[in-house]
Amino acid sequence: MLRTPLFDLHSELGAHFTEFAGWEMPLRYRSSIKETLAVRNCCGLFDVSHMGRLTIGGPDSLKFLQLVATNDVDIEPGRSRYTLILNEDGGIKDDDVVFRIKEREFLMVINAGSREKIINWLTKVKEDRHFDVDLEDVTFKTVMIAVQGPRSTEFLSSLLNLPKIRRYRHKEVNYRDDRVLVSRTGYTGEDGYELIFHNADYAEEVFRKLANLGVEPSGLGARDILRLEAGMCLYGQDMNENTTPIEAQLEFVVRYDKDFIGKEALLRKKEEPPLYLRAGIRSRTRRSPRCGSKLFYEDEEVGWVTSGTFSPTVGVGIGMGYLKRGLSKPGTKIKALVSDRQIEVIVSEMPFYDTTIYGYRRRVQ
Amino acid sequence: MNDVPEDRYYSKTHEWVLPVGENKAKVGITGYAVEELGDITYLEVRAVGSEVKAGERIGTVESNKATEDIYAPVSGKIIEINKEAGVVEEGSSEFSGELERISEDPYGEGWIVVLETFNMKEELKGLMDAHEYVEMLKKEQK
């Protein structure tokens, strides 16, 4: 199994490990629920070095990325954008964040489980269409940590000379003799930063110092709860190569006014409305819907759950899944079958938490 | 795994049973089960007065990771449930929110139910002692 350069530090901090996409990663240090609440209310700290990091450079880099990404990545250097990569049939190959570093230099952060697949795909597109681009997998040359939560600016500022960075923007920041890419992004719904170090020792030092300051080291357990509370998809679980952006309700990152791989298939599919659409559901109690649970409206089977857990922020079970089109009105009463027993759930808007109190859009206190 | 108490018996499905009288036993889930579950978020059992046979579902435990059934290690009638530890009766909407007790002290304060047993002496023969249970865990982890 692969390990990140921070593995020994995680052991020292008491992490329980789990296998994820071939990596041995912290699942939790003490409690996933406490870690989740620390991120929502204060600040948490994640090693996300397992995520794939690719650099894309060269004269054709923009043209190349515009063809593989559904979103418009012709953005100013210093900005980043969430996008999908589709196959020729309009199915989702991965969801990613593209950073424009310089005019002809991009960084793409991809799902750990999709890294090899996406590298192969990009290499194939590059070769088939003779693009003059340089692709490099820098996953093993860099360390990526995420500092997430309403107090993340305050904590990070005490360790490095943090300039003002707006959401979905990034800057290079000096830390000792390293140039660290600091990005105001994350996968928790909260305000926060993701930092990419070249020097693993410095990454470890920053991680340790933040933990010593009281920032909660948090594992994949908390990360999964946080992203689900925020209504964010997990690739491979909530969507895959057979899911279109239409079904996954991710069309907001599809730009039909440009050419991209999968566009034709997607336009054909748009002629017929989809049978199922991704929707959020919430339980009336602490009982949670679970991945694989079937959904029923009255006695009719109307969909299935792809992610489900207990939300410590909301205090009830939450989930997302695919529901027959027409039933996605918030408040619609449905039932989820969890190990032969029914639990009552209602269709819910996402994020599941009150966005005036939690999340990066919260009112400043 | 080293702190599996030797005063009780264990099932393959990771429940423990501790005789507390001739026909009375406490039941809970093991430290290993608690480790595997992560944070326990909900635990319900069949109503006080319900009769269960050994191996039958006695309740359900939920965590941030999974929903798992809990099985009766011996047959009996549920005469008490550990409400202080946040255990609730099936179908009720009450919740006391102290489930940390089960995670933190699964063999002590975190017991789940007390059974009035029917045939405990015989049924205990079909369960494992602490030593056998630890051996089983070692095999499972290989």
Q: What is the mean pLDDT of residues A18-31?
A: 97
A363 pLDDT more than 90: no
Residues A154 and A15 in one domain: yes
Is there a contact between B64 and A225 if contact means CB atoms under 8 Å apart?
yes
From A63, A90, A120, give the residue that closes a domain: A120
Query: What confidence score (pLDDT) does residue A364 get?
Result: 65
Q: Which of A135, A121, A116 is nearest to A2 (CA)?
A: A116
Number of domains, chain A: 3
- Local confidence band at B98 (pLDDT 50, 70, 90 cut-offs): confident
Give the end of a domain, one of A229, A256, A290: A229
Summarize the confidence of residues A213-239 as an average pLDDT. 98
Q: Which residues of B touch A (CB under 8 A)?
A: 35, 38-39, 41-42, 60, 62-67, 69, 93, 95, 103
**B64, B100, B102, B104: which to substitute to probe chain A, counting the most A Cβ within 10 Å?**
B64
Residue B129, both tokens: 């002692």
| Cβ <8 Å between B42 and A288 | yes
Whether A31 and A64 map to the same domain: the answer is: no
CA distance A167 to A156: 15
Residue A89 lies in a domain: yes
Cα–Cα distance between A3 and A49 in angstroms, integer? 9
User: Do A330 and A191 share a structural domain?
Assistant: no
State whether A173 and A320 are in the same domain: no
The dihedrals phi and psi of A11, each to the nearest 5 degrees, come to -60, -45
Domain residue limits at A284: 275-361
- What was the pLDDT predicted at A255? 98
So what's the pLDDT on residue A293? 97
Residues A82 and A219 in one domain: no
Asked whether residue B97 carries a pLDDT value surpassing 80, the answer given is: no
* Same domain flag for A36 and A152: yes
Does any domain span residue A82?
yes
Residue A353 and residue A288 share a domain: yes
Residue A288, chain B, CB below 8 Å: the answer is yes
pLDDT digits (tens, 9 = 90+) for A301-312: 999 999 999 999
Q: What is the pLDDT of residues A315-326, one digit of tens each?
A: 999 999 999 999
Q: Which of B67, B95, B96, B102 to probe the A interface (max A CBs under 10 A)? A: B67
Are residues A221 and A146 part of one domain?
A: yes
Instruction: Examine the domain organization and report whether A26 and A157 are in the same domain.
Output: yes
Assess if residue A24 is contained within a domain.
yes
- Binning pLDDT at 50, 70 and 90, where does residue B3 land? confident
Residue A90 backbone phi and psi in degrees, to 5:
85, 5
Q: Is residue A236 part of a domain?
A: no
Mean pLDDT in residue range A113-129: 98
In this complex, do A16 and B60 lie within 8 Å of one another by their Cβ atoms? no
Question: Which of A260, A276, A265 has its CA nearest to residue A328?
Answer: A276
In a domain, A128, yes or no: no
| For range A269-288, the mean pLDDT | 95
Q: Considering the domain boundaries, does residue A349 fall inside one? A: yes
Q: What is the 3-state secondary structure (H, E, C) of chain A?
A: CECCCCHHHHHHCCCEEEEECCEEEEEECCCHHHHHHHHHHCCEEEECCCCEEEEEECCCHHHHHHHHECCCCCCCCCEEEEEEEECCCCCEEEEEEEEEEECCEEEEEECHHHHHHHHHHHHHHHHHCCCCCEEEECHHHCEEEEEECCCHHHHHHCCCCCCCCCCCEEEEEEECCEEEEEECCCCCCCCEEEEEECCHHHHHHHHHHHHHCCCEECCHHHHHHHHHHCCCCCECCCECCCCCCCCCCCHHHCCCCCCCCCHHHHHHHHCCCCCEEEEEEEECCCCCCCCCCEEEECCEEEEEEEEEEEECCCCEEEEEEEEECCCCCCCCEEEEEECCEEEEEEEECCCCCCCCCCCCCCCCC
Q: Which of A229, A260, A284 is the last residue of a domain?
A: A229
For residue A27, give the CATH number of its domain. Answer: 3.30.1360.120
Regarding whether A357 and A317 lie in a shared domain, the answer is yes
Q: What is the mean pLDDT of the segment spanning A92-96?
A: 98
Rounded Cα distance between B68 and B45, Å, is 12
Residue A99 has pLDDT above 70, yes or no: yes
Residue A115 is part of a domain; what is its CATH number? 3.30.70.1400
| Residue A235 counted as domain residue | no
The pLDDT tens digits for B62-71 are 999 999 999 9
- pLDDT at residue A226, rounded to an integer: 98
Beta-strand pair A300-311/A294-297: antiparallel
Same domain, yes or no: A222 and A153: yes
- How much is the average pLDDT of A332-359? 95
CATH code where residue A301 lies: 2.40.30.110
Q: Which chain B residue lies closest to A225 (C-alpha atoms)?
A: B64
Residue A67 belongs to a domain: yes
Q: Are residues A167 and A194 in the same domain?
A: yes
pLDDT digits (tens, 9 = 90+) for B27-74: 999 999 999 999 999 999 999 999 999 999 999 999 999 999 999 999
